Amino acid sequence: MGRYFRDIYISVFTVLKGMYVTMLHFFSKSVTVQYPKERLEIPKGSRNQLLNIIEDCIGCDQCVRACPVNCIYMETIKSFEGDELGETSTGRKKSLWIPSFTIDMAKCCFCGLCTYPCPTECLIMTDVYEYSKHDRNDLIFEFADLDPIKAAELREKDAIRKKEKEAAKLAKLKAKEAAAKAKAEKEAAEEGKTPEKKPEDNPDKKTDNSGEENS
Ligand code: SF4
Ligand code: SF4
């Protein structure tokens, strides 16, 4: 019988205790935020969505090299004679075209390492944190603003320039080899000897792998 009344007492007491705690909170100041109607202020230095102020980007590649997950992709083309690329807002001369500057925010780990080495401070963390998407491809952000037709022209011109440079390099190498050969022949002629011919100079004479001559 005593147990019966004790159980009634405990039940009533715990309900009243719970109601007391609830009543206390009912009159105290609310600490919850009614997101998204209400938003807390983002702390200074927080890391959110990245932004490249492309007008100030000089294409130095430092952010790309600093990124530990390789989620920054940049394409640069060296300017051509007569190109006027202008300056950054801090007066730094630009010498590279930037046809593409992409950041894959789906891969980004928000370490912020890319922002520190940026010499023009154009790569920054913004306070934008609400950019979730259904498709992860929508998290790839392109910052370059170069006209695609202009970019295609520049790529074509750059490919020609590279080919010309390669051809010039090859011609220089060949000229160097020819000069060295002529010099060797001249020295040999002066000494009254014919220069010893190398096996590769005589296609009729071939050697097998054992070093023996084949006729
Ligand atoms: S914050 Fe880190 S992971 Fe994200 S782009 Fe910059 S360096 Fe790469
Ligand atoms: S470090 Fe800055 S200036 Fe250099 S490529 Fe990256 S964003 Fe551009």
Whether ligand 1 lies within 6 angstroms of the CB of 103 is answered as: yes
DSSP bridge partners of 56: none
Please say if the pLDDT value at position 195 is more than 60: no
What is the structure's pLDDT at 199? 56
What is the structure's pLDDT at 214? 42
Q: How many alpha carbons fall within 13 Å on the CB side of residue 72?
A: 25
- How far is it, in rounded angstroms, from Cα 54 to Cα 52? 5
Domain 50-146, CATH class in plain words: alpha beta
pTM (predicted TM-score): 0.73
- Nearest Cα to 145, choosing from 56, 67, 66? 56
- Nearest Cα to 116, choosing from 62, 73, 169? 62
The amino acid present at 33, given as its one-letter code, is V
- Nearest Cα to 145, choosing from 122, 115, 174? 122
Whether ligand 2 lies within 6 angstroms of the CB of 118 is answered as: yes
What is the structure's pLDDT at 198? 55
What is the structure's pLDDT at 207? 46
Q: Which residue among 54, 118, 124 is best mutated to probe the pocket of ligand 2, counting the most ligand atoms within 8 A of its Cβ?
A: 118
Q: Give the pLDDT band of residue 30 (cuts 50, 70, 90).
A: confident
Which residue's C-alpha comes closest to atom 6 of ligand 2? Answer: 63
Question: 74 and 57 in contact (C-beta within 8 Å)?
Answer: no
Q: Which ligand is nearest to the CA of 75?
A: 2
Percent of the chain with pLDDT over 70: 89
The amino acid present at 199, given as its one-letter code, is P
Interval 80-84 mean pLDDT: 92
Q: Any idea where the domains of the chain sit in the sequence?
A: 50-146, 151-190
SS3 sequence, 50-113? EEECHHHCCCCCHHHHHCCCCCEEEEEEECCCCCCCCECCCCCECCEEEEEEEEECCCCCCCCC
Per DSSP, helices labelled H in 191-209 are none
The amino acid present at 168, given as its one-letter code, is A
Q: Which ligand is nearest to the CA of 63?
A: 2
Q: Which residue among 62, 75, 100 is best mutated to probe the pocket of ligand 2, counting the most ligand atoms within 8 A of its Cβ?
A: 62
What is the structure's pLDDT at 132? 92
Question: 142 and 63 in contact (C-beta within 8 Å)?
Answer: no
Q: Which ligand is nearest to the CA of 50?
A: 1
Please say if the pLDDT value at position 81 is more than 80: yes
